[in-house]
Amino acid sequence: MAVNTVVATVQALTGTVIARDADGSSRVLAVGDPVYAGDELIPLQGASVDLQAMDGGALSLGEGQQALVGEVLADSGRADNPEIPTAEEVIAALERGESLDALIAPPAAGLEGGDSEGGGFVRVARISEPVEPINYTFPENVFGRPDALGETVAVPGGETPGTVMPPGQPPAEPPVEPPPPVTANPTLVVSVSVAAGYGYADANDAAAGDVVFEVSDTLNLDGLDPALASAIVYSIVGGDTAYLEFAQDGAGNWVVVLTEAGAAAIRAGLVDDNQLNVTVEGTIELVELPDLVDTGSAFAPVPEPGGEEPPEPMPDLFASAHVVGGSDVQGTMANADSLKSTGAQSAAVSHQDGFFAIDHQSASDDPNAIEFGEALLFTLVSPIDTAVFQIEGAINGGSYHLYDADGVRIGGARELAADVNEDGFLELSGETFSYIAFQGGTTGPGGSGDRSEFSVRPVDLSVQVGEGDGAEFYPADGVEALAAESVETLDEADDFGANFLTVDTDQDIFVVAEGGQGTTDDPARFVIQGFSLESESSAAQITLGELLSSASQETIDQYLLAEPQGEDTVLHISSGGMLGTDTGGVDYAITLEGVSMDGFDSSYDFIQTLIENGHLTIDQ
């Protein structure tokens, strides 16, 4: 029998049919596959196959049937086969008593056989020879089972029918189940209460650091892992923010305490409605969930100041207005007592933005200027030998006069134009005086020429105008206030008296107040001499008041930046919190002369040192 001779093709197929060749190799048949001479066909459970022979014949096999295919596929019961007797021939031979051997050709294996080449196809009900179980190897999935791809094959003696993997196709990844949705509903409740033991029998007992409110929170994670929640972060978001701040008590609990300003307000009786109030916000961050935020509020009463009424403030100067003649060598200006005796004559002292002038109500004049024929007299409570006055406006022949304790003028009239520096400041030193008068004038004789229109601001001196119940008191400019005119460049600040400040004692406080800032293009600039970083030195204090009330520990670098400038340090301040790395948004610039940033890693470290040593206060 020739090998690899195609004797039939598969016409139809159900289930799985195996073809095993003479070498024992097996393959799974499909419609259209060739069948070779010598192939053994084995339909598996529930399978069937229809073959079309090359010479036109047909053969069908079903479950439990096997066949060995020869070179010539022929129906073993064909009527036109002369070697096979018909039924009539067999009956006739039996009736004649003849042996049937004569009708049947000898077997090919016998001595007489071999006249023909034998049948071309043998059909048998079963092959009796034992066959080895058919085993196949299939790719396994994550469950240790064959992948459900291809066609199902029954494996005799094996496991439940597996799956044939198409050649070259990788096993499919099992589907990944999405995690179940988070159904927890965590909650946070912040509580604020008046601290146990809080309360003052005497308002004078109030001190910075006193605990006013206790703060607590209740967190319910509703079954979530506690590791998913951050520590709570507290902040004061409402109430008396200038008087209160956060601190930790001895047990590490967060509490709300009095600031220096808060303690001072209680002692002075300046707390609105005699009660402190606060609104606290707590925030907890959760992994992959929205933050938990809650607020709590409380009120705490404070006592009114008791004891004696505070004494009336004592001014440094008493101001009075006078109408005088044009002479500065005789008459009223020659003697302070004579000047005072002239009376106001419908003139009064006017005040605007710290500057004093004469309002001559019976004349058509500028009520905020000292003009020709007007004089402003300052009477000192005690003699001094040093003083600074700022002059604003047109001097035009204006003069000033100094007097001793007896009212006698020291020297003659002095020209303001000669002694006022280019920045508008009259700086007096070396002469002790008890009175000073500023007189209006003109540039020509007899009141001709350009007339003066100027006003005067005593620097760091308090002033009282009038007496008794109608008196008006004007305090000094906050010890040394920084709310003054800005200058074009920092170099000019050294010569600009209002911006050139000196530390004299450790009681000096430099106040940066709302309203004194410049612009981002032209910030207000100041130079402070004698400042020190030492905690026990007489470095005085810079206070930003409520200017940075919106700043927090996390956002302070948006409001305040320290920058080295040679041997000095410049504090850039942005009251709107608009600071950037290029100091954009700055409306104040304060130079600490002789204070170096050497040894500090960053602006933050430098500012924290100022705060910790008590040289910088920020009300938050």
Among the residue ranges 32-41, 469-478, 505-514, 586-595, the one predicted with the least confidence is 505-514
Surface-to-core class of residue 2, CB atoms within 10 Å of its CB (0-12 exposed, 13-18 middle, 19+ buried)? exposed
Secondary structure letter of residue 228 according to DSSP? G
pLDDT of residue 553: 67
Q: Which of 396, 402, 373, 414 is nearest to 454 (CA)?
A: 396
Is the per-residue pLDDT at 331 higher than 80? no
Any alpha helices (H) in 351-437, and if so which ranges? 416-419
Predicted local distance difference test score (pLDDT) of residue 123: 47
Query: Is the alpha carbon torsion for 67, 68, 73, 78 positive or negative?
Result: negative
pLDDT of residue 225: 86
Listed in sequence order, the residues at least 6 apart from 173 whose beta carbon sits closer than 8 Å to its beta carbon are none
pLDDT in tens, 519-578: 666 777 778 777 777 765 555 677 776 666 667 766 777 788 888 888 888 888 887 777
pLDDT for 330 equals 44
Give the pLDDT mean for 158-184.
Answer: 61
Comparing 1-5, 232-236, 600-604, the range with the smallest average pLDDT is 1-5
Contact 138, 163 (CB under 8 A): yes
240-258 pLDDT, tens digit per residue, is: 888 899 998 888 889 999 9
Question: Mean pLDDT over residues 381-406, rounded?
Answer: 93
Strands 463-465 and 317-323, by their bridges, are parallel
Note the pLDDT tens digit of each residue in 125-149: 344 445 556 665 656 655 556 554 4
DSSP bridge pairs for 351 = 356
Q: What are phi and psi of 299, to 5 degrees?
A: -120, 145
pLDDT value of residue 117: 47
How confident is the model over 356-362, as a mean pLDDT? 82
Place of tokens 């293009």: 521
| Residue 24 Ramachandran class (φ > 0 left, ψ -120 to 50 alpha, else beta) | left
Lowest-pLDDT range, 34-48, 176-190, 506-520?
506-520
Name the residue with higher pLDDT: 441 or 497.
441
Evaluate if residue 478 carries a pLDDT over 60. Answer: no
Residue 59 binned pLDDT confidence (cut-offs 50, 70, 90): confident
In this prediction, residue 560 carries a pLDDT of 83
Predicted local confidence at residue 414, as pLDDT: 93
Q: What's the pLDDT at 489?
A: 34
Question: What sign for the dihedral angle of Cα 200, 212, 300, 239?
Answer: positive
For the ranges 236-245, 323-332, 348-357, 410-419, the lowest mean pLDDT is seen at: 323-332
How confident is the prediction for the chain on average, in pLDDT? 75
% the chain with pLDDT above 70:
68
pLDDT at 485: 32
Nearest Cα to 455, choosing from 388, 398, 384, 381?
A: 398
Residue % of the chain over a pLDDT of 90: 19
Distance CA 197, CA 211 (A): 9
Listed range (122-136, 372-386, 470-484, 554-568) with the worst mean pLDDT: 122-136
pLDDT attached to residue 218: 92
Contact 58, 65 (CB under 8 A): no
Residue 498: per-residue pLDDT: 34
Helical spans, DSSP H, in 325-383:
336-341
